[in-house]
C-alpha cells in the first residue's frame, strides 16, 4: 500500500504538462489495481470472491468510505483527472450514467495477456479472472455507440479530444506466474506481454486517439508482498541501497526497456499521435532511496495497512482482514471519524440556488406583491412556508452564532456596474454581487470575534460555501441577445472573480471552502424555452439539453477547477473543495428513473409552471402567479424552470457531502 501512495508522483508532472495548451474532454483508462476505481467490486462479487478494497480501511483518507480503489485514498488517475479539470473517471462496470467525460475499464488483477494463460497456476489460478486487456478493449468498443454514431469521422473527432491511459499492465502477469515459474522462465514471455500492450495502443490510435499514455511497471522487488513471500537467505539477492529484491527489479527493468522500445515504434508508425511512456519505476526508486526527501521518513518498504512482520504483510491477514492494522495517521483517519460535527458554523455566498431569504427581504418582505418566491407554492414540500437555515444575513432578530447566508437571488460574480454600463437590462435591481456579499460578511465580523487572532480561530472552524456564481452573469448577457461566442471570452474574468472571493475568505481564516461550479445551462427548462433559437437549437442526444449552452457551462467549470488547483497550491493547508453542479444534473438527465424522476418530462420540464408543452415554462405564467399549478415536485428535477426541486437538491447535497459530486467530498478527511 505504501508504494501505491508513493507513485502518485509519477504522472502528476505529465498531467500538468498536458493541461497547458491542450484541452481534453474525456479520459479513458485501461489497467489493473493501480487504476481500478470500482470495477473490481463488480467482478469479484460476480465470482463470489472477497475484494478487500470494497471495505474500510481502503478509502479512509480521502473518501471516508471504500470505493473499490486499492489505496487509502485517491489513485494516480484521480489526480490526473482533477488536474485536468475533469470529474473522477467512472468505473465502467459500476456506473449507470453518461461516459461522455470518460470511462475507466481497469480491473484489479487484470492481465495484459489472456487470463487462460494463468488459470492453471497452483494456488492463484482461481483468481485469474477474464478481465484482461483484450476484454477491456471489448468493453471500450461496447460504449462507443453512446459516445458517437456509426460515422467514423464523429468517433475519430471525439477521441481526438480524449486522453487515453493504457495501463499499467504486466505486474499481474508476472505476479501470478511467479507461483508456478522462476524468474528466468517468466522473462521468456515478457515480449508477449509487451506485444499485447502495444497492439492495444495501436488499436486505440486507429479509433481516433491522439494522446495515449503507456506506463511502465514499478520495481516489483520493492513491493512488500514480494519481499515477504519470496525472501532469500543470500544477502547478495538484495540491493544494498534499498533492500529490494534484485531479480524482481531486474524483471521490471527488462519489461520497461522492451516497453519503451515498443512505444517508440508505435510513435513512428503513427506520427500524428502522441504516444507517451510514463515512468513508474524511476519515481518509486527515487522515493525508496531518499524517503525523507519526499516526506517518507522511515520504513518505506513496509505496508501502511497489513498483518505484521518485517514488511507488515501477511497473506492470511491482508489489509482489511481480521488481524491487520493500519499505520497511525491521525490527521487522515481519526479526524475523519468526527469531521461531521467538527464545523461550528456555516457561511454561504451565492445566488438564488442558495438564497434562504435575502432577496425576499430586499423586495420588502414576504408580503411583497412583486416577489413571486414569497408566494405559494414555493416552500410547499418541507416548510409550508420558507424557514431559512442558516439564517439570511439581512434578517432581523436572528442569532448568527452558527453561521450566516449572504447568498441572494440574482447575484453575479461580476459587479452590477459591469452590466449597467453596457446596457444589459435583465440585471437585478439590487447590487448583490459577490463583492457586496463579502462586504456584508466583513460588516458582521464583530458578531463573531473582536481581534484578528480570534477571527482567524473562529473562521478556521467554519465551513464556507462560495456557490454557483456565474449562471446569472451568463444569463443576463444571453437574454440580451449576446451570442455564446461573444459571452465565452468573459469566462476567465468571471472565474477570476470567484477565485478572488475564495482567496479573501481564506485570508480571513477559512480552512474549508467549498466552491461550486454551475449547473448545465442547457438543461434548464427556462433556457430551453427561451434560448433554443438563439443558441442554434442543437440538442445533446443523450440528455435532450441544448448543446451549446452546456458547452459554455463546461468551459466555465473547467476553468474554475483549474483555477482552484492553483489556489490549493498557494494555500496548501486549506481544503478548497470543488462541488460539481454539472455532473449530477447530467446524470439525472441520462438516467432519470434511477433517481426517481419521471423520464424526460421529469428532467426537462418544470414542475411548477403554466407553459405546458415539453418544458412547461412561460414568462406569462410563472410559478407563483395566479392559476399556476405545481405538479409533483418529487418526480421533477426542475422546480420552476430555473431552480431545482427539493428532491434534486437532496441528491446533489448528498453527493457533495459524501461523493461523488465533490472533489474531495466535504465529509472526507482533509488533505
Please answer whether residues 160 and 30 qualify as being in contact, where contact means their C-beta atoms are separated by less than 8 angstroms.
no
Q: How far apart are CA 509 and CA 516, in angstroms?
A: 20
Can you give the pLDDT at residue 369? 45
Whole-number pLDDT of residue 600: 63
Checking if the pLDDT of 112 tops 50, the result is yes
**Residue 196 in contact with residue 133, Cβ under 8 Å?**
yes
**pLDDT value at residue 151:** 67
Instruction: Identify the pLDDT of residue 9.
Output: 33
Q: Which run of H or E residues covers position 417?
A: helix 416-421
Would you call the peptide bond into 377 cis, given omega within 30 degrees of 0 as the criterion? yes
The helix/strand/coil state of 349 is strand
Residue ranges of domains in the chain, CATH in brackets: 2-327 (3.40.50), 343-663 (3.40.50.1110)
pLDDT at residue 581 greater than cutoff 50: yes
Q: Residue 632: what pLDDT?
A: 85
Question: Does residue 12 have a pLDDT over 70?
Answer: no
**Confidence grade of residue 3 (pLDDT, cut at 50, 70, 90):** very low
Q: Residue 22 above 60 pLDDT?
A: no
Structural contact between residues 474 and 427, judged by C-beta atoms closer than 8 angstroms:
no
pLDDT given at position 298:
64
pLDDT given at position 120: 83
65 or 578: which leads in pLDDT: 578
Residue 547: pLDDT band (50, 70, 90) is very high
DSSP 666: T
Grid cell 424552470 is found at 641
- Specify the 3-state DSSP secondary structure of 668: coil
Would you place residue 668 in the very low, low, confident or very high pLDDT band (cuts 50, 70, 90)? low
List Cα–Cα distances, 447 to 134, 382, 441, 461, in angstroms: 63, 30, 10, 16
CA dist 358 and 355 (Å) reads: 6
CA distances in angstroms from 368 to 141, 371, 374, 504, listed in the order given: 58, 6, 7, 34
pLDDT at residue 327 greater than cutoff 80: no
Amino acid at each position: 500500500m505504501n508504494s501505491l501512495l508513493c507513485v502518485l508522483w509519477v504522472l502528476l508532472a505529465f498531467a500538468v504538462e498536458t493541461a497547458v495548451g491542450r484541452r481534453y474532454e474525456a479520459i479513458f483508462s485501461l489497467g489493473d489495481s493501480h487504476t481500478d476505481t470500482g470495477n473490481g467490486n463488480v467482478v469479484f462479487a460476480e465470482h463470489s470472491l472477497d475484494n478487500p478494497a470494497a471495505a474500510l480501511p481502503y478509502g479512509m483518507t480521502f473518501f471516508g468510505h471504500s470505493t473499490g480503489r486499492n489505496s487509502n485514498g485517491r489513485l494516480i488517475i484521480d489526480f490526473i483527472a482533477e488536474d485536468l479539470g475533469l470529474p473522477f473517471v467512472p468505473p465502467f462496470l459500476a456506473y449507470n450514467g453518461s461516459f461522455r467525460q470518460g470511462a475507466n475499464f481497469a480491473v484489479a488483477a487484470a492481465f495484459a495477456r489472456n487470463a487462460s494463460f494463468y488459470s492453471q497456476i497452483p494456488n492463484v489460478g482461481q483468481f485469474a479472472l477474464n478481465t484482461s486487456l483484450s476484454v477491456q478493449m471489448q468493453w471500450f468498443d461496447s460504449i462507443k455507440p453512446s459516445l458517437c454514431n456509426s460515422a467514423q469521422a464523429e468517433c475519430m473527432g471525439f477521441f481526438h479530444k480524449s486522453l487515453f491511459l493504457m495501463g499499467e499492465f504486466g505486474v499481474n502477469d508476472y505476479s501470478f506466474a511467479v507461483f508456478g515459474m522462476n524468474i528466468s522462465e517468466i522473462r521468456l514471455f515478457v515480449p508477449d506481454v509487451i506485444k499485447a500492450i502495444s497492439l492495444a495502443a495501436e488499436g486505440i490510435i486507429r479509433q481516433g486517439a491522439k494522446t495515449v499514455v503507456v506506463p511502465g511497471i514499478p520495481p516489483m522487488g520493492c513491493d512488500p508482498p514480494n519481499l515477504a513471500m519470496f525472501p532469500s537467505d543470500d544477502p547478495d539477492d538484495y540491493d544494498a541501497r534499498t533492500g529490494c529484491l534484485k531479480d524482481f527489479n531486474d524483471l521490471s527493468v527488462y519489461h520497461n526497456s522492451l516497453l519503451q522500445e515498443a512505444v517508440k515504434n508505435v510513435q513512428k508508425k503513427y506520427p500524428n499521435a502522441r504516444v507517451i511512456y510514463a515512468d513508474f519505476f524511476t519515481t518509486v526508486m527515487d522515493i525508496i532511496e531518499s524517503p525523507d526527501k519526499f516526506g517518507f521518513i522511515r520504513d518505506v518498504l513496509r505496508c501502511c495497512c497489513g498483518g505484521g512482520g518485517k514488511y507488515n504483510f501477511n497473506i492470511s491477514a491482508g489489509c482489511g482482514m481480521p488481524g491487520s492494522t493500519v499505520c497511525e495517521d491521525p490527521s487522515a483517519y481519526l479526524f475523519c471519524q468526527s469531521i461531521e460535527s467538527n464545523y461550528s458554523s456555516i457561511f454561504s455566498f451565492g445566488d438564488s440556488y442558495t438564497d434562504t431569504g435575502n432577496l425576499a427581504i430586499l423586495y420588502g418582505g414576504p408580503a411583497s406583491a412583486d416577489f413571486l418566491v414569497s408566494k405559494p407554492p414555493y416552500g410547499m414540500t418541507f416548510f409550508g412556508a420558507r424557514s431559512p437555515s442558516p439564517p439570511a444575513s439581512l434578517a432581523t432578530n436572528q442569532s448568527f452564532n452558527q453561521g450566516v447566508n449572504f447568498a441572494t437571488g440574482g447575484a453575479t460574480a461580476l459587479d452590477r456596474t459591469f452590466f449597467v454600463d453596457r446596457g444589459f437590462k435583465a440585471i437585478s435591481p439590487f447590487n448583490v454581487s459577490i463583492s457586496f456579499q463579502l462586504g456584508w460578511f466583513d460588516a458582521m465580523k464583530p458578531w463573531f470575534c473582536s481581534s484578528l487572532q480570534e477571527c482567524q480561530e473562529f473562521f478556521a472552524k467554519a465551513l464556507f460555501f462560495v456557490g454557483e456564481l456565474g449562471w446569472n452573469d451568463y444569463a443576463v448577457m444571453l437574454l440580451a441577445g449576446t451570442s455564446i461566442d461573444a459571452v465565452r471570452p468573459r469566462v476567465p474574468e468571471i472565474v477570476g472573480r470567484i477565485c478572488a472571493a475564495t482567496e479573501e475568505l481564506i485570508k480571513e481564516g477559512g480552512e474549508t471552502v467549498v466552491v461550486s461550479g454551475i449547473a448545465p445551462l442547457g438543461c434548464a427548462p427556462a433556457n430551453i424555452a427561451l434560448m433554443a433559437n438563439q443558441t442554434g437549437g442543437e440538442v445533446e442526444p443523450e440528455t435532450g439539453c441544448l448543446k451549446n449552452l452546456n458547452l459554455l457551462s463546461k468551459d466555465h467549470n473547467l476553468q474554475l477547477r483549474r483555477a482552484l488547483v492553483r489556489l490549493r497550491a498557494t494555500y496548501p493547508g486549506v481544503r478548497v473543495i470543488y462541488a460539481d453542479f454539472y455532473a449530477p444534473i447530467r446524470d439525472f438527465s441520462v438516467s432519470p428513473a434511477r433517481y426517481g424522476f419521471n423520464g424526460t418530462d421529469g428532467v426537462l420540464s418544470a414542475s411548477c409552471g403554466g407553459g405546458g408543452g415539453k418544458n412547461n415554462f412561460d414568462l406569462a405564467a410563472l410559478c407563483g402567479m395566479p392559476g399556476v399549478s405545481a405538479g409533483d415536485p418529487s418526480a421533477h428535477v426542475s422546480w420552476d424552470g430555473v431552480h431545482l426541486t427539493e428532491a434534486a437538491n437532496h441528491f446533489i447535497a448528498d453527493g457533495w457531502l459524501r461523493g461523488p459530486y465533490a472533489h474531495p467530498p466535504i465529509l472526507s478527511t482533509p488533505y
